[in-house]
Structure 1
């Protein structure tokens, strides 16, 4: 049976991503949807991108663009170092590209440039990195940056009662537009949770890989999930990101 697997933030943790993919036991007919932030944090950002490039040639992959991916794409294109990016994992990403040829970097740049900002499947399930603000949906969003920066959608969901039916008048209009919404960007570990969080029809699958958490893959039909070890255990000689 074909599976659709959503995979949360990775942040340069190649060892964690490899663990998760091995646990998933990816098959040729599977569809993998990554919700962004492949880079910035642990020491193998370039290697993560290389794996995704190669994986995309073998199975169906949708690699959505996150805010850290936007920063890395800009650096690969121009060579300019955004100081905010540098302080939030960019340094480690730059170092991970040592030994990569200009041709290999160009392949990675092309990969970043072709990443969509969101994905809507045939069952009206939406996947994006952060959120959106328009009550008319993603196609009406006036600022594309919200797709990889907005936290209000998740914050709004968290404030709602989890048992309200979709036809209730207070059910958020934004959420009514889609059967389910899958996001990353805001670590569940911020709320003391190290597994995917579900509120109403929103699923947050960023389980804190950038910091002390894990990389998570979720089967969106069965809701079974697979997780790596905690990233500090996989990279014991690295401090990891200590900034949000």
Structure 2
């Protein structure tokens, strides 16, 4: 059995189908989705429909992303959030104009069921964004940070690569887990289009919301497969660009 992780999808159903096909995913694989299924490209409702059905035939674990929570809040009470609207929410609002109330309710139930993090039997941590508590995710004072935090990744980028884990300035957060897998902050911000490892942290958000591809990666072998760039799959749309 392979353990495959999937980066931020952001409404790009065509890209999701491509990576599942290119990685030759089967029902024997464990699929761990790192969150942000919606907001960006035009198929956010279709992505959620696809994932709900996929869970019936495949072993799937779904993390909660910040965009997933924002959409869930809007679906429940039409909460006005101008910042969300400007950062991908507009595409979801437009897409949901043609979605029935029954289908919306299924999506709400799915979004509510998402996990804030997953820790496997090998002490490998999976979550959307990061955490701030030096004692780990179980001690996080503000659970929303598990899908909003950027300091974990920013600290990893700034870390002196010559530091050993025993160095007095080595971040304690990085020593708690064998590996940490995140999305949330696209690696395109540092000029990359493939998964990036810093310390024991792997960032698998390869910029699918913007100009990059969507990525699926085997966490044991570190082999990965990618979709075409999202703008090429949705040539008449802007995504979050």
Please say whether Structure 1 and Structure 2 have the same fold, judged by a TM-score greater than 0.5. Answer: yes
Aligned to 2:113: 114
Question: What TM-score results when the alignment is normalised by the length of structure 1?
Answer: 0.96
Per the TM alignment, residue 167 of structure 1 is displaced from its structure 2 partner at its CA by 3.2
Structure 2 alignment gaps of length 5 or more? none
Question: What TM-score results when the alignment is normalised by the length of structure 2?
Answer: 0.97
Moved more, 88-97 or 109-118: 88-97
Aligned to 2:187: 188
Within 2, Cα distance between the matches of 1:118 and 1:87? 27
3-state secondary structure, aligned to 2:27: coil
3-state secondary structure, aligned to 2:217: strand
3-state secondary structure, aligned to 1:139: helix
Per the TM alignment, residue 163 of structure 1 is displaced from its structure 2 partner at its CA by 4.8
Aligned to 2:237: 238
Q: CA RMSD in A?
A: 1.1
Measured against aligned partners, the alpha-carbon deviations of 1:89-121 in whole angstroms (never above 9, x if no partner) come to 111112222332211111110000010111111
Matched ranges for 1:29-178 at <5 A: 29-178=28-177
Within 1, Cα distance between the matches of 2:9 and 2:49? 13
Within 1, Cα distance between the matches of 2:117 and 2:235? 34
Structure 1 alignment gaps of length 5 or more? none
Within 2, Cα distance between the matches of 1:153 and 1:186? 10
Moved more, 109-118 or 75-84: 75-84
Within 1, Cα distance between the matches of 2:31 and 2:19? 12
Within 2, Cα distance between the matches of 1:73 and 1:226? 30
3-state secondary structure, aligned to 1:161: coil
Within 1, Cα distance between the matches of 2:94 and 2:61? 26
Measured against aligned partners, the alpha-carbon deviations of 1:64-94 in whole angstroms (never above 9, x if no partner) come to 0111111000011112231111111111112
Within 2, Cα distance between the matches of 1:239 and 1:12? 12
